[in-house]
């Protein structure tokens, strides 16, 4: 999906975002199958490889509706609440023109000159020089900058940083980033689930228990 120019880059990002969302469901099915395969082996270690593969496939068919609903629910939650999660992790908070007139005016002027809807402006308390954009649609778009960046850069430098983040929004790079984070969250969730199930919680084998659980 090579891109040659701004509009093809935007179109390519939209295509990649759709592919990533479809890939999320495929990834969930693969992870469920892998988990079922591990469970079949742990529970009964005396069967052949083909038996394990067939049993895991049967488990996947049974679990597929629940996995599909779970993946869809994950996407819905991420769509509506990803910004709250980002703010909770980074400590970012929205600011108004009255609170940050210099920063707000710089961003507003950039948006007006480029015909871009004004995203929310947020600041996180950090001495680092950093900024990032987030959001999945015009109503959610936000640009977060660190307090260190605001304090140490002049207007021209801050304007360049804000213009860079606006470019990420306009090009659709932000949507891809959020979707990638959603996928990473699914992988992390399944990894944590498998670890707790097989190494901390214990797995029942032939009347006993195997794993890290204590009796």
State both tokens at 156: 């021209």
Cβ-based burial of 18 (10 A; exposed 0-12, middle 13-18, buried ≥19)? exposed
Q: Hey, which residues are catalytic here?
A: 165
DSSP-derived 3-state class of residue 155: helix
Cα–Cα distance measured from residue 92 to residue 83, given in angstroms and rounded to the nearest whole number? 10
- Which has the closest alpha carbon to 140: 196, 82, 180? 82
Distance in angstroms (rounded) separating the CA atoms of residues 123 and 144: 5
Residue of 152, 109, 114 lying closest to 130 (CA atoms): 152
85: CB partners within 8 A, 6+ apart = none
Round to the nearest angstrom and report the end-to-end CA distance of the chain. 55
Q: Is 210 left (phi over 0), alpha (psi -120 to 50) or beta?
A: beta
Whether 119 and 169 have beta carbons less than 8 Å apart is answered as: yes
């Amino acid at each position: 999906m090579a891109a040659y120019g701004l509009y093809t880059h935007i179109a390519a990002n939209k295509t990649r975002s759709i592919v990533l969302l479809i890939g999320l469901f495929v990834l969930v099915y693969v992870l469920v199958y892998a988990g079922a395969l591990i469970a079949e082996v742990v529970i009964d270690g005396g069967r052949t490889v083909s038996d394990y593969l067939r049993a895991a496939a049967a488990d996947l068919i049974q679990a597929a509706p629940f996995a599909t609903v779970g993946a869809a629910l994950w996407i819905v939650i991420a769509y509506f609440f990803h910004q709250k999660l980002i703010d909770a992790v980074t400590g970012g908070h929205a600011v108004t023109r009255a609170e940050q007139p210099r920063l707000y005016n710089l961003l507003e002027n950039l948006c007006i000159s480029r015909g871009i809807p004004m995203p929310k402006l947020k600041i996180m308390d950090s001495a680092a020089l950093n900024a990032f954009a987030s959001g999945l649609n015009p109503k959610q778009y936000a640009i977060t900058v660190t307090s260190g960046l605001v304090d140490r850069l002049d207007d021209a430098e801050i304007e360049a940083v804000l213009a860079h983040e606006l470019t990420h929004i306009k090009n659709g790079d932000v949507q891809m980033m959020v979707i990638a984070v959603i996928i990473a969250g699914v992988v992390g969730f399944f990894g944590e689930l498998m670890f707790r199930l097989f190494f901390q919680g214990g797995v029942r084998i032939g009347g006993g228990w195997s794993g890290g659980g204590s009796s």
